Homo-oligomer: A and B are copies of this chain.
Amino acid sequence: MIYNAPIQDMLFLIRDWIGIDRLNALPGYEEVDLDLIEAVLEEAGKFASTELLAINREGDEHGATFDDGNVTTPPGFKEAYKQFIEAGWTSIDANPDHGGQGLPKTLQGLIDEILGATNVAFKLYTELSRGAYHCLAHSASEEICDKYLPNLVEGVWSGTMCLTEPHCGTDLGLLKTKATPAGDGTYKLSGEKIFITSGDHDLTENILHLVIARVDGAPAGTRGISLFLVPKFLVNDDGSLGERNTVQTASIEHKMGIKASATCSLVFNDATGYMIGEENRGLAAMFKMMNLERITVGLQGLGLSDIALQNALDYAHERRQSKAPAPRPEEGAAADPIVYQPEMKRQLLTIRSQVEGARALSVFAGLNIDIMEKSPDAETAAVAESTVALLTPIIKAYFSDLGMSSTLSAQQIYGGHGYVREHGMEQLVRDCRIAPIYEGTNEVQALDLVSRKITGRMTEFANQFLDGWLTVLDEYADGSHGDIAGAARLGLNHLIEATQWVQSKAEAGDDAAMRGCATQYLRLFALAFIGCLWAQIVDSIADNEGEFYDVKRKVASFYMQQVLPETAFLLDVIVNGSDALGDFEVADFAV
């Protein structure tokens, strides 16, 4: 397997499109320049394409193992993790107060794509730590932050996110894990949590579990959920490790993919926990972590799409079968490289145009996260926060779906060689398959979008957001690439029409109709919005000459002609397809 971090494209997006000045305008990021970003990305790319890629396939074949209550990571993982934390990859966007490097989330997002491309299973051992860090940094007391965060940032400790129980995943209101006040300000937690990523392993000295549970007597449902920090080893006042907490690993899952990542069942048996944030407000605190993680899961899908593309492209250049349409690259050859077959080119471009579009959306979201966190102007920060809230479910679901379509398509390009394990393409499919499921299934993301992000109190914001892009596209209509802007405008119009339809159903209380089109609506949003970004990108480089920019324009045109037109179909099924769904009763399935 090969992997070249797409640094050129990443730098392009910041340099030629959003502009580094947008970042530099934020307090703390004044000094972040393109050279720094390039240097960091180069290092990330080097580490990922050598160390992480090298252990990816053995990690899959060997898997994480569970023996006598302990989890062991596959060969090479300990060494790679040691290098990982020594190089500072756990501290990029953490606060300098806790030992972090204080770099922008925009940059972290690009690094996440690179790491996700080369070894998702490895990345998962570090990813939840970052989520735990941000959750604690945001909601925990100063005392807890001082005690726990530096080690988390340094990477010698890691974190988890303990939500799911056997009977509750999507619907956390059903959770049963209970927390009983111990009388000294701490709590005793008892219950079973499943599907806990990195719930146990041998990479760090301690593991900080962030656990949601119900305090005795708390209200039923989501209003009675509190958040607790439950360390694997208790931490003494001097920061040294104390006795082992009563959290046991019952088993690890045998999964379709990400086999090197230990997915644990944890049993809490009167385990000592510290409440984080307010009682019964745990879900809100946990969502700080979850929202970040949702974007990061999306970036896994993006990264896997890109590595799948790179390898399929490589293979398509090497593999010779059949003759290409005229003009053939090499007259007289027995067969031509399959990359010259129009269908192969189409599949490769379908991935590429979406990957580059998704990467633009990733940068756009990263910038908005940075603005939301750093802007001194409250209004600006609020708009950025709403933007991120709106885009989070879209990034999680569309990027992870893209991961599936891309890895499957890339595998297909290999023909039979893609189905055998040695080429690694089938591992990409299996490793990616979890992304549409975990951190809230893509269906949950779609429900979040239709029921909370474009309706209710966010209705006005969502409409302004879309109208704003309409104005932007109108400005491009008479530009040098009016055709691209026009196509994007058509897609956006489909989105706006669908949005109005969903909003009208929500207002009418037709919950079934609103929910029934949620997944289709989310996809329509993603395709149309990325169409807008492509139009803006093309406009921003209208005066740029050279091969790189020419190819960008070609890729944008391909997106407009071959990918974006799906919005018309989606609008059609959303608006005209709801009757048939509604008419079909659950009881009809039995017939």
Contact = CB atoms under 8 A, between A and B. Distances in A.
Residue among A342, A411, A437, A441 having the largest count of chain B Cβ atoms under 10 Å: A342
Interface string A160-173: 00001001111101
Given A433-B429, A569-B569, A168 B420 contact: no
A554 B516 contact: no
30 contacts: A169-B416, A170-B322, A171-B322, A174-B335, A194-B416, A254-B420, A254-B421, A256-B421, A256-B426, A340-B586, A342-B515, A342-B518, A343-B443, A343-B447, A343-B518, A345-B516, A345-B586, A346-B581, A349-B584, A412-B442, A415-B437, A419-B434, A430-B430, A554-B580, A554-B583, A558-B581, A561-B573, A561-B579, A565-B576, A568-B568
A348 B589 CA distance: 9
Query: 9 tightest CB-CB pairs across the interface, nearest first?
Result: A342-B516, A569-B569, A256-B426, A325-B511, A325-B512, A171-B321, A561-B580, A558-B580, A561-B577
A591 B344 CA distance: 17
By secondary structure, the A interface counts as helix
Nearest to A441: B415
Interface size class of A (residues with CB under 8 A): 35 or more
A408 interface: yes
Interface string A298-333: 000000000000000100000011100110010000
Contacts of A255: 419-421, 426
Interface in A546-591: 547-548, 550-551, 554-555, 557-558, 560-562, 565-566, 568-569, 572-573, 576-577, 579-584, 586, 588-589, 591
A321 B174 contact: yes
Contacts of A342: 512-513, 515-516, 518, 581-582
A343 B515 contact: yes
Given A345-B584, A412-B436, A419-B433, 14 more contacts: A164-B416, A167-B320, A171-B322, A255-B421, A263-B420, A325-B515, A341-B515, A352-B589, A408-B433, A558-B584, A561-B573, A561-B580, A565-B569, A569-B569
Interface string A84-105: 0000000000000000000000
Interface string A398-430: 000000100010011001101111100010011
A334 interface: yes
B256 A419 contact: yes
Contacts of A346: 516, 519, 581
Interface of A: 164, 167-171, 173-174, 194-195, 220, 253-257, 263, 313, 320-322, 325-326, 329, 334-335, 339-346, 348-349, 352, 404, 408, 411-412, 415-416, 418-422, 426, 429-430, 433-434, 436-438, 441-443, 446-447, 511-513, 515-516, 518-519, 547-548, 550-551, 554-555, 557-558, 560-562, 565-566, 568-569, 572-573, 576-577, 579-584, 586, 588-589, 591
A437 B418 contact: yes
A336 to B, nearest CB: 10
A353 to B, nearest CB: 9
Contacts of A434: 419
Contacts of A584: 345, 349, 554-555, 558
Nearest to A339: B586
A421 B561 CA distance: 40
Contact of A253 (B253, B313, B420): B420
A571 to B, nearest CB: 10
A355 to B, nearest CB: 13
A348 to B, nearest CB: 7
Contacts of A168: 321
